[in-house]
Amino acid sequence: MNITRTLAVAKKEGRQIIRDSRSLYLALGIPVMLMILFGFALSLDVDDIPIAVWDQNKSPESRDFIDRMTKSTYFRSIIQTDNYNEIVNNLNNNHITVGIVIPFDFSRKLKKGDSAHLQAIVDGSDSSRANLAIVYLETIASTFDSDFKMESLTRQAVQSRVTPPVDPRIRIVYNPELKSRNNIIPGLIPVIMMIISALLTSLTIVRERETGTMEQLMSTPLKPIELVVGKLIPYFTLGYIDLLMVYLMGRYVFQVPFKGSLLIMFFISSVFLVCAMSIGFLVSVIASNQFFATQLALLGTVLPTFLLSGFVFPIANMPQSLQYFTYIIPARHYITILRAIYLKGVGWNAIIWPSLALFVFAFVVTALVARKLGKNAL
């Protein structure tokens, strides 16, 4: 590969990017916009769940149970009612997510040591939110029951002979506050980089064909690999600027902790940028016009990156055959690496296999682009 010819192509492509202000705005503006939209709007935390309560018992025990729910971060009481139909109506109107009915004999059964039942009506139209609401409610009920029994034994002066059978001491590491933002932002960076890089590079070759300059390029001594690398250099520079911007926003705007090595993170990011751009180049070689190239780039990068990378949906919950397919999605490996570097501060020994997968993908697709370009350049 001739460095002089490669740099000449890079200089030509750089001038084209500067002249095309729309591409420049696209490359620098969309990452910031996506970070703001997803960073503030997308949250997997489920708290402050609105509830309605019908307390038929009106005893100190029932009020204590309600206080435990509403004083937690999980629930907020917005309706106190004495009508079952009002609970149902508010569920239908999406004013509440959970309706609680505490029966007349709630405190009496507690004091007798019997099971004190209560009814919880949960809106299941949002299954994820409903499942978490049920888990929160069961946890609060279990804690309330345990505390009540211990207090009852205390009053009977037998506390010294009673100890809980299991006393878990839980320590949460890496993300002790369980903020979903700390998990989302490292996963959002690959999504943004994949979309921007693939979209920009998907127009490079097909635009040369449409303007008639591709024939002139291929009539020169320029080799296909020199053309690919030369065109990749300015977009790689733009991609690095985008990467730096989204990293700074995640670190200082969204306050996501970074515990790992910046050197490792930016090195692996370079490999991922090559992966994303090689996909765009492949689309540009295959596509017959710029409109088709844009649509194919979106279809080939946005959907797989969102759905199959583990960014939003856990890969372990997917069908087994689909889990195997995700290994050819570069964003899957990059997200694994970034989350490990950001939150765990790991070194090379912990990310060697996903890093190797990115290297292999970048090499294979770049070689494929060079081969296709040599055969189908015109």
Q: What is the per-residue pLDDT across 253-288, written as a single tens digit (0 to 9) for each?
A: 888 889 989 999 999 999 999 998 888 888 888 887
Band (pLDDT 50/70/90 cuts) for residue 221 is confident
Q: 33 and 64 in one domain?
A: no
Residue in 39, 43, 51 with CA at minimum distance from that of residue 130? 51
Q: What average pLDDT score do residues 54-72 get?
A: 89
Element (H, E) at 217: helix 214-218
CA separation (Å) from 231 to 31, 105, 109, 264, 270?
Answer: 21, 76, 76, 25, 16
| Averaged pLDDT score across all residues of the chain | 83
Edge-first strand listing for the sheet containing 119-122: 75-80, 49-55, 98-102, 119-122
Please name the amino acid found at residue 331.
A
SS3 of 132-181: the string is: HHHHHHHHHHHHHHHHHHHHHHHHCCCHHHCCCCCCCCCCCCCCCCCCHH
Q: What average pLDDT score do residues 168-175 get?
A: 74
Q: What average pLDDT score do residues 30-44 get?
A: 79
Query: Does residue 245 form part of some domain?
Result: yes
Q: What is the structure's pLDDT at 70?
A: 86
> How large is the C-alpha radius of gyration of the chain?
29
Looking at the predicted structure, is the pLDDT value of residue 44 above 70?
A: no
Band (pLDDT 50/70/90 cuts) for residue 157 is low
Q: 9 and 62 in one domain?
A: no
Q: 200 and 60 in one domain?
A: no
Q: 239 and 135 in one domain?
A: no
Residue in 189, 230, 233, 205 with CA at minimum distance from that of residue 296? 205
- Please give the Cα distance from 229 to 212 (Å, whole number): 21
Residue in 130, 113, 116 with CA at minimum distance from that of residue 64? 116
> Which domain range does residue 290 map to?
3-43+179-376
Which has the higher per-residue pLDDT, 77 or 258? 258
CATH number, domain with residue 69: 3.40.1710.10
Q: 247 and 216 in one domain?
A: yes
Q: What is the structure's pLDDT at 313?
A: 82
- Please say whether the dihedral angle defined by the alpha carbons of residues 76, 79, 81 and 87, taken in this order, is positive or negative: negative
Cα dihedral angle (301, 304, 309, 315), rounded to 10 degrees? 180
Q: 364 and 321 in one domain?
A: yes
Q: 117 and 242 in one domain?
A: no
Looking at the predicted structure, is the pLDDT value of residue 378 above 50?
A: no
Strands (E), the chain: 49-55, 75-80, 98-102, 119-122
Least confident of 52-61, 87-96, 365-374: 365-374
297-340 pLDDT per residue, tens: 888 888 888 888 888 788 888 899 899 999 999 999 999 999 99
Query: Does residue 183 form part of some domain?
Result: yes
Highest-confidence segment of 110-119, 294-303, 343-352: 343-352
Least confident of 28-32, 86-90, 241-245, 348-352: 28-32
Q: What average pLDDT score do residues 14-35 get?
A: 79
